[in-house]
Structure 1
Amino acid sequence: MFLGSQVNLYADDVERVVHFYAKLGFVETYRHGPEGAPRHVEVKGPGLVLGIASPQAALEEHGLDVSQDGAAMEIVLWCEDLDAAYAAALEAGATVLREPHVFQDGRLRVAWVADPAGNPLELVQQLR
């Protein structure tokens, strides 16, 4: 029935958010819209496709009134080395939501950061 899936994020500054995910190793696979002001860009990481789209484009092209408000979702990125991933995210422009810490009785180590549009990313490393 379905052929694939992706998560779409809405960002007022699409290019800034694309640049952030590129610094984390995501590769751009699709771009729509004028040079310098894309309306929709897709980036692919390990097992995940993210679409980064302009809220204005969603309203103009589809009649959908979306925003960056709410944080009702998060992207989870599993890591081999949480500290390295956390440092890379901060260097790429993320802001700290919660510093790395042990979770679930020592099974996991997790941290939360926000991308430049404020979308929460949970970084997770399995310890045992």
Structure 2
Amino acid sequence: MSLFRTPHVVLFTRDIDRASAFYQALGFEEVFRTPLAGTPIHVDFALDGYRIGLATEASTRDDHGLTPVAVGQRAAVILWTDDVPAGYERLIGLGARPVKPPEPWLDRLLIAWVEDLDGHLVQVVQSVS
């Protein structure tokens, strides 16, 4: 029996409403928020059994005494799809910054990279034959 369970990643953001709207537009469903009224300081989303959280930079600093970094390429959200070019264009249409257009990798994958609205890397990937 494992000591740990239910892992998920939390990304830090300076604009939680904007970041939340971005991930909801990708199909993530909100499963938790605090506080319930007004602008949240933390929101969790789920997609296909995977959970991702967003926490405000200010709350992480003020509530927990940490020094979060809310910009730059610190982590990557990986989104599998059956159509990388369409996924890449959808992300760009939602305001993501293009990093690398679709290209083959390892002779069995097609991948593309963007940065979300806070600079977190998002990779769109599909298996190809």
Query: Could you tell me the TM-score, scaled by structure 1's length?
Result: 0.92
Distance, in Å, in 1 between the alignment partners of 2:114 and 2:82 is 17
Amino acid in the other structure paired with 1:44: A
TM-aligned CA deviation for residue 102 of structure 1: 1.1
Q: Find the residue that maps to 1:8 and give its secondary structure.
A: strand
Partner of 1:57: 59
Partner of 2:121: 120
- 1:3 aligns with one of 5, 11, 24: 5
- 2:76 aligns with one of 63, 74, 77: 74
TM-aligned CA deviation for residue 93 of structure 1: 1.6
Partner of 1:111: 112
Change in CA separation of 1:34 and 1:13 when aligned onto 2, cut-off 3 Å: farther
Consecutive unaligned residues of structure 1, counting only runs of 5 or more, are: none
Count of residues in correspondence between the two structures: 127
Q: Find the residue that maps to 1:50 and give its secondary structure.
A: strand
Tell me, yes or no, if structure 1 residue 38 matches structure 2 residue 62. no
Consecutive unaligned residues of structure 2, counting only runs of 5 or more, are: none
Q: 1:15 touches 1:36 (CA, 8 Å); kept in 2?
A: no
Distance, in Å, in 2 between the alignment partners of 1:99 and 1:36 is 37
TM-aligned CA deviation for residue 34 of structure 1: 6.5
Aligned-residue Cα RMSD (Å) equals 1.4
Amino acid in the other structure paired with 1:46: D
Distance, in Å, in 1 between the alignment partners of 2:77 and 2:28 is 13
Distance, in Å, in 2 between the alignment partners of 1:83 and 1:28 is 26
Q: Find the residue that maps to 2:91 and give its secondary structure.
A: helix
Q: 1:112 touches 1:120 (CA, 8 Å); kept in 2?
A: yes
Deviation string, structure 1 residues 29-81 (Cα, Å, up to 9, x no partner): 11113744210001111232111000110111111110123423211111111
Map residues 14-33 of structure 1 onto 2, 5 A cutoff: 14-33=16-35
Partner of 1:89: 91
Q: 2:42 touches 2:54 (CA, 8 Å); kept in 1?
A: yes
